[in-house]
Amino acid sequence: MTAEQRRNLHAFRGYVRKILDPTYILSYMTPWFKDDVVQHIQAEKNNKGPMEAASLFLQILLELQEEGWFRGFLDALHQAGYSGLYEAIESWDFQKIEKLEEYRLLLKRLQPEFKTTINPEDILPEISGCLINQECEEIIQISSNKGLMAGAEKMVECLLRSDKENWPKTLKLALEKEESKFSELWMVEKGTETIQMKDLEDDEMKTLDVQIVYKEEPENQNLSQNSCPSSGVLATYSPLKPRNYQLELASPAQKGKNTIICAPTGCGKTFVSLLICEHHLKKFPQGRKGKVVFFAVQLPVYEQQKSVFSKHFERLGYKVAGISGATADNVSVEQIIENNDIIILTPQILVNSLKNGTVPSLSIFTLMIFDECHNTNKHHPYNMIMFNYLDQKLGGSSDSLPQVIGLTASVGVGDAKNTAEATEYICKLCASLDTSVVTTVRDNLEELEEVVNKPQKFFRKVESRTTDKFKCIISQLMAETEALAKSIFEELGTVTLENLSQIQNRNFGTQKYEQWIIAVQKACMVFQMPDKDEESRICKALFLYTSHLRKYNDALIINEDARVKDALNYLKNFFRNVRAAGFDAIEQDLTQRFEEKLLELEGISMDPSNENPKLEDLSFILQEEYHLNPETRTILFAKTRALLLTIALYFQALKNWIEEHPRLSFLKPGILTGRGRTNQTMGMTLPAQKCALDAFRTNRDSKILIATSVADEGIDIAQCNLVILYEYVGNVIKMIQTRGRGRARGSKCFLLTSNADVIEKEKINICKEKMMNDSISSLQSWNEAEFKEKILQIQSHEKLIRDNQGKVKPVLDKKNKKLLCRKCKTFACYTADIRVVEECHFTVVRDAFRERFVTKLHPRPKNFGSFEKKAKIFCARKDCLHDWGIHVRYKAFEIPVIKIESFVVEDVATGAQTLYAKWKDFNFEKIPFDAAEMYNHAQDLNLQGMDGLE
């Protein structure tokens, strides 16, 4: 025990007093505490409470002179279960504990409501991991002896002392699982999950505070029905009787065969997986145990399956647990797998654990189930897991391998043009999953068809506007902007705008034009000249011209599918933001050109003759269907473009149109989009998705949901009887999934488009579905030994390719490089000054770097693990202000975190310039972040003008 440790413990004793009940650790401190001292501390707790007992304990502890007591104290904390306090004292960092204070204050205020509304015995199993084992036993004992209200009061007391970082979110999930009204009062900060480690500056941090109920069962056999009893009384579990077709689907797997189960959405594949699991676990003889892992790609589906499996198996005495990216940092993957019979995982968790050795081999499992198994291809986490499996199988390992089950509504056919190619595609999927059986319903088709309803499909070809005045004016502005960009090249006389990209025959308002813009922008960013000032001027000018062209193109895309009004509002908002930023001479000129046309554009937007014919036809369909059936429930799938920065605005435009339409406003539309993001727009958070779905499910006034492909898989709204595909088409898998959203009897599915190619593509998908079914039937007629031989040939061939690819490793480039602003080419830093924080975040250590950027308060400050996001950083040039990344507090340091897509990389020796989209693509020498080095620069790195961020 050093004097510094004694001083620190004395300084932080206030935190310890709030958390520690010393009577729980005294049995581990017997070498240093005599019996009379133990009795004194116990009496202090009985008379004055645990906080006073903790004060006495600390007073005695700090007076000890014997060797080893400090290590003994830490070990006692660890043994008793005070993991948060243990971690804080060991590192002398109490930030995580400090951040729990606001939740303690909230819980204190809500204590009277908690006592009267919560049954502690119901939620204790869910939150026990946030409490000490002895606390759990005391809560149970007090509830039994003194009643539930006293037990709830004890639970509050224990939670107020909890040192577990995740207890507020765990409590929230427990309350929602029990459908407690108290959950509406318990508002917790949004947490994070990272299925894969991503660049922090990508800002693609997802939340997992509340659960979206994704259901896979038909309405009259809903495994999640118990979670929402209409009476408001907590429902009890009642086992479901399997249907004959479900027993048929489960049969090959129950015989121990690796199987892909291909059956329609809504038939109850999750229930089939329960039957398979139960049979699998019960077949093991005395003294041996099975271990099942169930994979779900989407977090909401993971939550749903975890709930379903827990309810089904815990009553049978099996232990069920789950790990996702949201919880992985707070639990031991190794212990969760070791201590449970069934583990629900998002697949990247296992990929990471196999890579770092936490899970030594897949042989620890006896059964693996892959939900939506058609994703097992390329570099998907499912395929990464199966690569490990196949390496073990083909490498001659003597260790046993788990049985493999895949679940899907459609195996797909890829790019197959005939049944033979489709059969080959399905064989490759089977090879990837090591399955020699594809099971479908054949003997009990009539029963299946009674349960699963297939919507009637209609195609609606709509003509575009005969004259589009808005498009004419915007196209004129785009032509003028292109001419200005071309004039820059005319000054040079060495290169033209046209030969910067290979994309030809581009038209305004198309995705092809957007791709051309991006190609030109990339070429401009690495354009070089001897005169660097001139190079900076030209690159910045071209960046501005192409950025404006892109916005105009976005507006034309919105105009194509929504109203002129919505497209114009998008442009007005863009130019408003331009004025608020640097607003140099080029931007002033481009803004003036737009504003000269603004009055005319406003007139066009208000002219009823410019109404979009597609919206008129959509209005007709909706009015007709709701006239025939006022109780109609609709999902409107709308197209999304991978490169479009305006998805949120596009969907909002459709929503506004419905709300403002005199005959459709009664529909009260909701929006459901994905959680991904582009460089400039955020997707919906998980709680926002839940709110949208809950409103549609439970609010009878909300009759239509406008959705992206996020609603393709997993979401079941049993009452939905109308699916509209608005310029929306994908592959055969997507077609089957979107069609399956209409579950009610008499459902209809409309494809509405102005493009004949879209209808043709959907008709091709219908043919491919038949091709897929024919191919599956053909495979089912194969001799099983023949099928296995075919699978083995594919696996051996693919492994050979994989092994050869693995031998080629990129050469590490140790040469120093410059990072230049991608917009204005201003020097930012050298790669020698870059340090890697926690493997995937990149900071710059030299104090000179702070002079090259300016900061602005972040609009969405958040905490992510050890990071506290505080500000955005921008290029310091006033006529540039390009977004470079963010500024964070990392532990004790204030550091910038930069994103590589904001920079051009220049070789110091040759002057060659390169663009990178991700840090992983940039193979330079990555030096790990070093705290000691940072201490030398910490004072210099404190930002000027950061007072408002504290």
> Annotated binding site for Zn(2+), which residues?
821, 824, 875, 880
Structure tokens at 703: 């009759």
- The beta strands (E) that lie in 413-529 are given as 437-439, 456-461
Distance CA 798, CA 311 (A): 40
Radius of gyration of the chain (CA): 31
Length of the chain in residues, anyone?
950
SS (H, E, C) 729-747: CCCHHHHHHHHCCCCCCCC
CA quadruple 164, 165, 168, 170: dihedral, nearest 10: -70
Q: Tell which residue, 212, 213, 205, has the closest CA to residue 326.
A: 205
Q: Fill in the amino acid letter for 450.
A: E
Distance CA 653, CA 638 (A): 11
Give one DSSP letter per residue of 221-235, joined into a string: G-TTGGGS-TTSSPP
- Full strand arrangement of the beta sheet holding 704-707: 456-461, 748-753, 722-726, 634-638, 704-707, 670-672
Give me the residue label for tokens 């069920």: 320
Q: CB neighbours of 462 closer than 8 A, spacing ≥ 6?
A: 613, 614, 617, 752, 753, 754
> How many helices (H) does the chain have, and how many strands (E)?
32, 25
**Distance in angstroms between the alpha carbons of the first and the last residue of the chain:** 34
Instruction: With beta carbons less than 8 A apart as the criterion, state whether 813 and 925 touch.
Output: yes
Instruction: With beta carbons less than 8 A apart as the criterion, state whether 621 and 627 touch.
Output: no
For residue 894, the cross-strand partners are 889
924: how many CB neighbours lie within 10 A of its CB? 17
Q: Tell which residue, 770, 738, 767, has the closest CA to residue 751.
A: 738
Q: CB neighbours of 56 closer than 8 A, spacing ≥ 6?
A: 22, 40, 41, 44
Distance CA 875, CA 620 (A): 51
Q: Is 869 helix (H, G, I), strand (E, B) or coil?
A: strand
Whole-number Cα distances in Å, 873 to 198, 199, 721, 784 = 19, 16, 49, 61
Q: CB neighbours of 473 closer than 8 A, spacing ≥ 6?
A: 597, 600, 601, 604
Distance CA 707, CA 540 (A): 38
Distance CA 631, CA 547 (A): 46
SS (H, E, C) 8-58: HHHHCHHHHHHHCCHHHCHHHCCCCCCHHHHHHHHHHHHHHCHHHHHHHHH
Q: Fill in the amino acid letter for 773.
A: N
Give one DSSP letter per residue of 664-697, joined into a string: TGGG--EEE--S---SS-----HHHHHHHHHHHH
Task: Summarize the annotated binding site as residue ranges.
Answer: 821, 824, 875, 880
Distance CA 454, CA 273 (A): 23
Backbone angles phi, psi at 589, to 5 degrees: -65, -45
Give me the residue label for tokens 């605005």: 649
Instruction: With beta carbons less than 8 A apart as the criterion, state whether 226 and 726 touch.
Output: no
